[in-house]
A and B are shown apart, each in its own frame.
Chain A
């Protein structure tokens, strides 16, 4: 079967660093995505990893280990506006156009 696991909720303090983990078990792998979703809004694309390693984009970084079926999203210098759900999604194999999403991690940033 296809399965993506993320923590349900996390809390962090403004200015701190937080790491949101995602593990996946899918029939094949052809890329992993992170999206940010504020309450009642559409998901916004953050990052895409297809090779092992770290991708850095400003305050956000995403890491992938294909052998471990593991990724994390690292948020630095947290701001109040970073309070949102963070969705991990996998495209299982190149012959499919279907993206499988996790249930999301709800991040609360406290002052």
Chain B
């Protein structure tokens, strides 16, 4: 039973560039949440997707956008990258109506 997978594992970008991160949820899961985790901090909620729609968003600017596909996989897009966007980006999947979220290994983004 495959767990949550994310790609790429690491990424280096420069300020102003755009990046797309990908996530495949755990088998049987239909809901995907994205989190940003800065070094030494807890994960911060970016948004959650269910039924191909963003249904809740955290305190992140519109530069952060996402998408969910019919197979439940998801993408996180960040435009106009800033140095402060350097972080570990975590995807978590769950089943609608159930509480527990399961995390993927994350994508470590470095913005230079």
Interface residue? B86 (CB, 8 A): no
Q: Is the CB of A97 within 8 A of B55?
A: yes
| Partner-A contacts on B (CB < 8 A) | 4, 31, 33, 35, 40-45, 48, 50, 55-56, 58, 90, 99-106, 108
State the majority secondary structure of interface residues on A.
loop
> Which residues of A lie under 8 Å from residue B55 when comparing CB positions?
97
Q: Is the CB of A31 within 8 A of B99?
A: yes
Q: Give Cα distance in the complex from A97 to B46, angstroms.
A: 11
> Which residues of B lie under 8 Å from residue A40 when comparing CB positions?
108
Interface residue? A48 (CB, 8 A): yes
Known contacts A42-B103, A104-B42; 11 further A-B pairs (Cβ under 8 A):
A42-B4, A45-B100, A48-B99, A50-B99, A87-B42, A87-B43, A91-B99, A98-B45, A98-B56, A102-B42, A103-B42
Q: Give Cα distance in the complex from A40 to B39, angstroms.
A: 10
From B35, B48, B99, B105, contact of A41 by CB (8 A)? B105
Q: Give Cα distance in the complex from A91 to B98, angstroms.
A: 12
| Partner-B contacts on A (CB < 8 A) | 4, 31, 33, 35, 40-45, 48, 50, 87, 89, 91, 96-104
Nearest-CB distance from B38 to chain A (Å)? 10
From A42, A48, A97, contact of B33 by CB (8 A)? A97
Q: Give Cα distance in the complex from A3 to B106, angstroms.
A: 25
From A50, A91, A96, A101, contact of B42 by CB (8 A)? A101
